[in-house]
Amino acid sequence: MTPKNPGPQTIRVGLIAGEPVRDAGLKTIFDLPAQDDQAQLVPVIGSLMELLALDGIEYVVVDLHSSLGGLEALETIRRVRPEIRSIVIGPEGDEELMLTSIIAGARAYLGHSAGPEIVRKAIEVVTTGSIWAPRRLLCRVIDRLLSTPSVQQATTVQQLTPREQQVLELILNAHSTREIAARLGIEQRTVKAYIGRLMRKTGADNRVKLSVSALSRSMMPDFEGRKTRDSVTGQITN
């Protein structure tokens, strides 16, 4: 295992140890310099369970072509550390696999042909609280979630505080955690705390499900279904 001691402006990103050649290739992503408005990304290589045991790991890169169990690794992350965001690298053109990965909690899906700059950009997008995936894929995720009985069933709407309503509205308008913090004049960790409370109230475990659940329960009645889809995918890249 090769953890580093990050400075105050760094984010540690777990790379699940698998095949040495792939690990070496992934590490080159972090050789690229951070932009002025981006934190420095620091790789931490280890086994899946080693990374899940580290408190400072909030993001993990999962290579579905490695010998790590693929989707099983995503399910383990979701079960053991649901707050960790996963960046998935997998086969090109397999939309069903992409869909399964996103529903399993991945915040980004990239094909294996993606170059270091694209992978780095996707990780940076995820660390700001957004999702990196094809727009058509996110539309399919929303359609599938809306078609499930658990979303369609009428449930008791839990009262939101005025601040929670503000945070939820900004989420529905596809603002990142950093942007929400700036607009509301609060710290990013406070925004994350509000998002956690919203997820508990809706039973969601990621932002896509939170948005769909909030609209389906009429927690934000001023938003229409069409606007929901547009806003959720508004900052999706690729």
Give the residue from 181, 180, 195 showing the smallest Cα distance to 235: 180
pLDDT tens-digit profile of 51-79? Answer: 989 888 989 998 876 655 667 888 888 88
Average pLDDT, the chain: 75
pLDDT tens per residue, range 169-185: 888 776 778 888 999 99
Select the more confidently predicted residue: 229 or 41. 41
Fold (CATH) for 10-139:
Rossmann fold (3.40.50)
SS (H, E, C) the chain: CCCCCCCCCEEEEEEECCCHHHHHHHHHHHHCCCCCCCCEEEEEEECHHHHHCCCCCCEEEEECCCCCCCHHHHHHHHHHCCCCEEEEEECCCCHHHHHHHHHCCEEEEEECCCCHHHHHHHHHHHHCCCCECCHHHHHHHHHHHHHCHHHHCCCCCCCCCHHHHHHHHHHHCCCCHHHHHHHHCCCHHHHHHHHHHHHHHHCCCCHHHHHHHHHHCCCCCCCCHHHHHHHHCCCCEC
Q: Which CATH topology does 162-215 take?
A: Arc Repressor Mutant, subunit A (1.10.10)
- pLDDT tier for residue 220 given thresholds of 50, 70 and 90: low
> Residue 217: what pLDDT?
60
Q: Classify residue 106 by burial, with Cβ atoms within 10 Å: 0-12, 13-18, 19+.
A: buried
- Domain-wise residue ranges, the chain: 10-139, 162-215
Q: What is the pTM of this model?
A: 0.59
Work out the percent of the chain whose per-residue pLDDT is above 70: 70
